[in-house]
Amino acid sequence: MEARQEIEHLREKIRHHDYRYYVLDDPEISDREYDSLMAALKDLEARHPELVTPDSPTQRVGAEPVSGFLAVRHGRPMLSLDNTYTFDELRAWTGRVRKGLGEGEEISYVVEWKLDGVSVNLTYEDGGLVRGALRGDGEKGEDVTTNLRTVRAIPLKLRGSGHKGLIEVRGEIFMSLADFTGMNKERVQNGAPAFANPRNATAGTLKTLDPRIVAERRLLFYAHSLGEAARDTFITHEAYLKQLGGWGVPVNPQTKICADIESAIGRCQEMQERRDRLDYEVDGMVIKVNDRAQQRRLGQTLKSPRWAIAYKFPAHQATTTVQKIVVNVGRTGVLTPVAELEPVPCAGVVISNATLHNFDEMERLGIKVGDRVVIERAGDVIPKVVKVVTSVRSGGEEAFVRPRTCPKCGGRIEKEKEEEVAFRCVNPLCPAQLERKVLHFASRSAMDIEGMGEAIVAQLVARKMIKDVGDIYRLKTQGLLKLDLVKDKKAAQLMEGIKASKKRPLSRLIFALGIRHVGEKAALVLAEHFGTMDRLRAAAPAELAAIHEIGEVMARSLDDFFHHRAGRDLVEKLRDKGVSMRQPARRGGASFLTGKTFVFTGELEDLARGRAEAMVREAGGAVSLSVSKKTSFVVVGADPGSKYDKAKKLGVPILNKKDFLKKVGGA
């Protein structure tokens, strides 16, 4: 292929992938593959400069803005960063920096997390936020001011002084992994398609036309760069970041100043090992020359600054083979396809299963049994299939046919609404649903019945010893001893757990019932508002909907449950067996925790994060995702993340699991 044709072919491929990434938020290739295409094009154009055209991807910053919002021009272009993947490449970049500045100059570097979020440009005039825009094509981007004003991490007015005139603050909008996982779980339960990753969810959120949805999703923000500024007096990038903190603009606390490139490389190595402890996604580190006079002397190419570069971490991706596709049935009857994989190491663990979310997502992927697939794992997020490698198909792959009936009970499946993507089994006696309902009821965040795990529950359902969760309280020691692998000690432990669960507060029972749309927090709100099960059951939908954090959808779901015969009968069965139907008044520890804020980091042995957070709320406290001077306590478990470091730096009291349980009084 002659050079002209090869160059045009590469340009078209890059434009295609730009469109998939920036416009559709649905990339087909990894960042590294994209960078390889761009590097190949740059190399060809360098060898044939007569073929360079103004519309080449190498001569512009990015892609066209997404339609639907008014496009606004940035005061100064938002450049992208060149990427490196090895420390030798970082050293080579430093050599170019030294050559540009001249030998003998001292150069220090700022090393920051490279957040995998959505870049935004915030324009302040005399300290007030007047506009917020997405990066767009680097020159202009979509005006999403109304949406960004709902992001609590973004100050509407800067604190202090020194911000007269116009200043552009640039940074990254992102979503915590905990919020992302919870949101996707709720979306799937409600029949909505799951987002592929936190960045996709963040981008979709910022481009919604309803700011109320943006406000509900608790987006986060860290500033990292300076755009146009009427009074640019910052000597170093470090000084700028410190000033942002003084103005009330959040800056990532893990940012560090390094005296030389070897220290910067050491920092990259250190942070690469810590990336999986974070509650948000990062894909590398950004290294910047600290001195801003040196930055100006180094200047920029048309696309990127010469004084900054990104070191990209190895991707948490792996390639493997789909051995089988199975369909799981959840406690609400939702059918979820799962790929059983040839085991493969990825992100420090061996992956043998990956979610396919729903049948629409399977159709989009075009996945077949026997396919080679790319899987991805970020932190504790469930592994997912992100791409099918169709180029290596042999023809022996088998298409998957969506089941027409429930794969567990043979019952009818249907969508509640045509626009939904989730299919549900409508058989109320489906054993798979019953197993999941019992496991949920007995889970630590619900009734916390010690010893009632999957193996026990599967046998109880299969032997028809329980037909609903109320039958748990009819179990006898003699019956349990007939189960496989259950001896005297195990049976006694389980019976003691069942007995203890009767004393759980009403909030735990409401959550345990598995009422659609009602999570732990809503259950606590309802329990504290009504105090007793009888008062809750008697509440009209309008009264329920008027409660803060409940709303019409949840109110309808509650009303349906309590006015359906099965729901009424279940509550009465539980009452007859002595299960508490009251929310106890907050005890002695409650007055101490009222107004106190807790932050959790690391794994608490034998204590689920959701349960620990519920204990705080039940005792009158609040839970936050970030550490500040106003944080009352940081609870630290195994492998804590950056929140632990920040707590020590700020002098926030730190609790281990034992201290925490004492503090909440065993709530």
Residue from 566, 573, 592, 562 nearest 664 by CA? 592
Interior CA angle at 278 toward 277 and 282, to 5°? Answer: 120
Distances (CA, A) of 311 to 81, 88, 113, 627: 10, 11, 10, 27
Residue 358, sorted as left (phi over 0), alpha (psi -120 to 50) or beta, turns out to be beta
How far does Cα 109 stand from its chain's mean position? 30
Query: Percent helix, strand and coil across the chain, each rounded to 5?
Result: 40, 20, 40
The Cβ of residue 525 has, within 10 Å, a number of other Cβ atoms equal to 20
Residue 602, sorted as left (phi over 0), alpha (psi -120 to 50) or beta, turns out to be left
| Block residue for tokens 């066209």 | 64
Q: What amino acid occupies position 638?
A: A
Residue from 114, 119, 93 nearest 301 by CA? 93
Output the six-digit token pair for 5.
């044709």
Separation CA 521–CA 445 (nearest Å): 11
Separation CA 579–CA 222 (nearest Å): 47
**No. of helices (H) and no. of strands (E), the chain:** 25, 24
Phi–psi pair at 358, nearest 5 degrees: -160, 175
DSSP character for 50? Answer: G
SS3 159: coil
Q: Would you say 603 and 500 are in contact if contact means Cβ atoms under 8 Å apart?
A: no
From the list 13, 42, 99, 114, the catalytic residue is 114
Separation CA 579–CA 437 (nearest Å): 17
Residue from 262, 270, 261 nearest 290 by CA? 261
Q: Where does 567-623 show beta strands of DSSP type E? A: 597-601, 622-623
Type and span of the H or E element at 123 = strand 118-125
Distances (CA, A) of 162 to 155, 165, 243, 246: 16, 9, 9, 10
Phi–psi pair at 152, nearest 5 degrees: -65, -25
Ordered alpha helix ranges (H), 217-356:
237-247, 261-274, 292-298
Type and span of the H or E element at 153 = none
- Taking the CA of residue 461 as centre, how many other CA atoms within 13 Å lie in the half-sphere pointing to its CB? 22
Paired with 131 in beta bridges are 123
> Going edge to edge, which strands form the sheet with 654-655?
622-623, 597-601, 633-636, 654-655
Q: What amino acid occupies position 263?
A: S
Paired with 339 in beta bridges are 325, 354
Phi–psi pair at 537, nearest 5 degrees: -65, -30
Contacts of 103 (CB under 8 A, 6+ apart): none
- Tell me if residue 657 is catalytic: no
The set of catalytic residues is 114
